[in-house]
Amino acid sequence: MLTPERHRVILQMIKEKPHVKLQEFVDATGASESTIRRDLTQLEEKKFLKRVHGGAERLQRKLLEPSMAEKSSKNLHEKVMIAKYAASLVEEGDSIYLDAGSTVREMIQFLPEKDIVVVTNGLMHIQLLLEKGIECYLIGGYVKQKTNAIIGRGAIESLEQYRFDKCFLGVNGVHHHYGYTTPDQEEAMVKQKALSLAAEAFILADSSKFSEVSFAKIAGLDAATILTNQLDEELHIQYNSKTDIKVVTS
C-alpha cells in the first residue's frame, strides 16, 4: 500500500472516530507498527491529527460536535431554511459581514446579486461569492487549517477597516444565561468584533444549538437577533424576553 494511500485511510478513520488506537490503524492498513508510527508523526506535523499515547485523536475538539452524518442531511435542510430567510434580509446597497461556517455558507446562493458588498473571514465562501459575481472582501490574518477561517489578532485589526449594515454569524451554543458561545476563543473574538461593527447583527442557529454552551463567549443574547427554525413555546418566551428572535417556518 502506497504511503499517501495509508495516510488517506488514517485520516478517514480519524474523521469517523475521534480516537483511534494504533493497532486499529495497523489492522486497517496491513502495515507494521513502526510504519504507522511514522505516518502518525508525519500527519501530526502537518497538523492533521494529534498523537496521543496509544494512538491518535482528531484535532478539532469541538465541544458537542455533532457527528458528520447528522450534520449533512437532516440538519442541512434546517440550515438552508434559516439561511434562505437570512439572505432575504439583505437589501441592495447593503454591505454585510458573513462569518465562516456551514450555515452561513448556505446563505450565499440566496443573496441578491446586484449592488451588495460582502466582507468575510471564510475562505470557503469566496469561490461561491465570486461565481455569483458578488463583490467581496476578505479580512486579513492567520488561516486556521481546520476550518479555513481567518482568525487572530491580524483578523481583528483588519476588520476595523470596515463597517457593516448587517452581520451574519454562526455559533455553537445559544444559552439564555451564557449567551452565544463557540469552541474556539480566537474565532469568538473575531465574531465579537464583527458584531460590534455592524448596525444589525443576526445569529443563525438551528434548533440543536439551543440551551447549549460551548467554550468561548461571543456576546450576550441581546447583542443580536436570533434566526432559527423551530423552538418550543416555552423556550421562545424565555429567549424572547432577552432579545429579538425570528422563527422561520418555511
Partner DNA sequence: TCAAAAATCAATCACTTTCATTCAAAACCA
Partner DNA sequence: TGGTTTTGAATGAAAGTGATTGATTTTTGA
Size of the site for a second copy (CB under 8 A): 45
- Residues facing residue 203 across a β-bridge: 169, 226
In contact, 7 and 43? CB cutoff 8 Å: yes
Answer with the entry of DNA, a second copy, none that 127 interacts with (C-beta below 5 to 8 A by kind). a second copy
Binding mask 42-81 for DNA (x = CB under 7 A): ---------xxxxx--------------------------
Answer with the entry of a second copy, DNA, none that 213 interacts with (C-beta below 5 to 8 A by kind). none
The DSSP call for residue 122 is B
53 touches a second copy (CB under 8 A): yes
Q: Which of 11, 76, 89, 126 binds a second copy (CB under 8 A)?
A: 126
Nearer to a second copy, 65 or 165 (CB): 65
At 64, phi and psi to the nearest 5?
Answer: 60, 40
How far is it, in rounded angstroms, from Cα 83 to Cα 68?
20
Nearer to a second copy, 70 or 131 (CB): 131
Nearer to DNA, 92 or 233 (CB): 92
Size of the site for DNA (CB under 7 A): 20
Q: Which of 130, 196, 199, 222 binds a second copy (CB under 8 A)?
A: 130
Q: Is residue 120 helix, strand or coil? A: strand
Nearer to DNA, 13 or 197 (CB): 13
In contact, 127 and 108? CB cutoff 8 Å: no
Q: How far is the CB of 140 from a second copy (least distance, A)?
A: 3
Q: How far is the CB of 111 from DNA (least distance, A)?
A: 16
Q: How far is the CB of 7 from a second copy (least distance, A)?
A: 10
Three cell numbers, residue 244: 429579538
131 touches a second copy (CB under 8 A): yes
How far is it, in rounded angstroms, from Cα 204 to Cα 184?
17
In contact, 218 and 101? CB cutoff 8 Å: no
Query: In this structure, what is the dihedral angle of CA atoms 41, 185, 244, 117, given to the nearest 10 degrees?
Result: -80
Q: How far is the CB of 201 from a second copy (least distance, A)?
A: 20
Span 1-40, contacts to DNA by CB under 7 A: 2-3, 6, 21-23, 30-35, 37-38
Q: How far is the CB of 1 from DNA (least distance, A)?
A: 7
92 touches a second copy (CB under 8 A): no
With CA atoms as reference, report the closest residue to 198 among 223, 222, 235: 223
How far is it, in rounded angstroms, from Cα 170 to Cα 180?
9
Q: Is residue 205 helix, strand or coil? A: coil
How far is it, in rounded angstroms, from Cα 207 to Cα 185?
23
Span 139-168, contacts to a second copy by CB under 8 A: 139-143, 145, 148, 150, 152, 154, 157-158, 161
How far is it, in rounded angstroms, from Cα 91 to Cα 157?
27
